[in-house]
Every structure is written in C-alpha cells, then in structure tokens.
Amino acid sequence: MLAGEAYRFSDPEIQADHAAAKAWMVRYNAALAEPAPARHVLLAEGLGEVGEGAAIRPPFHCDYGYNIRLGKDVFLNFNCVILDVVGVTIGEGTMIGPAVQIYTADHPRDPEQRRAGLEFGRPVSIGRNVWIGGGAIILPGVSIGDDAVIGAGSVVTRDVPAGATAVGNPARVLAPRD
C-alpha cells in the first residue's frame, strides 16, 4: 500500500492500522475545547510529522494518520478529510479552509480489478504558503507548488505550479495578472 501498489483494504494489518486511527480520531475530535498546545500533542501522536505551530480544528478525519506530514504553522480548518493511504505532505505556512478533502486513495479503472477489491494510492504534495479555499477537493497524485492559491469549491485534478491560482471544476490555472 505505502509503495503505491495494489492492495486490499480487507487485509488484517491494514484493518488494524485503520482501527487504531479511528480510536485516535475519537480522542482528537473530542478535544475541540482543549487548548491548542494539548491538541498539538494529540496531533503528534496520530500523524507522521507535525511541525511547530501546526493546527487542525476538529472534527478531522483520515484513514491512517501516519502518512500525513504537516510543516510548521500549517492550519486546517473544521471538517477536513485526508484519505492518506500513501503520503500527504503539506508545507509550512499553508492554510486550508473548512471541509477541504485531500484524497490519495484511488481505484483501478479495470472493473475486474475493482470487483477483486483492489485499491492503490498516489501521493499528494502541497507546497509552502499555499491557500486552499473551503470545500476544495484535491485528487490523488496532485502536486501544488509553493505560494499557490486554490479557489473555494475547486476540484484539483492535475498539478498546480508554484505561485499560480487555480479555480473551478475541474480546476484551471488562471492567467497571471500584469
């Protein structure tokens, strides 16, 4: 799974990791009223890497947690979802609006492979100082460059270069302004 190869979600080891993540999310999401430093300690327990000052407002949902890396001062607003079957990296200073969804989980295009229960993942990389508007969806395999802006409600299906603004469904990069 972590190498991006086909796997079955029903695998006992994968199920055990998923159950552990669910137990952690129950604790984390119950900590909404706790001070930020206490939530930061909980984040460090559940995620692969959590930079200084990084914060996620509960509720938050993920598949495993250990594949998520947050840089310094990353902020995710309420109700974000990260399907992290492979790596998700979010660079320092990035701000993510409410209800943003980041997907690494993907499924074979071949119906026989889907019927067989196979899945795979493609990593997502989000650079430094990115702003992702509320309700945006980032699809598997996408890279977003430093200083980019993703408009609210956009569905990002392909890479977004550094400094670009992308909006719409599917998201398109706007022409730079002079």
CA-wise closest residue to 166 among 150, 145, 143, 147: 150
Structure tokens of 158? 């392909």
CB 143 within 8 A of CB 125: yes
CB 7 within 8 A of CB 118: yes
Coil/strand/helix, residue 117? coil
Where residue 20 falls (left for φ over 0; alpha for ψ -120 to 50; beta otherwise) is alpha
What backbone torsions phi and psi does residue 87 show, to the nearest 5 degrees? Answer: -65, 140
Q: Which of 18, 40, 61, 107 is catalytic?
A: 107
Look up 107 and say whether it is catalytic. Answer: yes
In whole angstroms, what is the distance from residue 106 CA to residue 64 CA? Answer: 15
Enumerate the active-site residues.
107
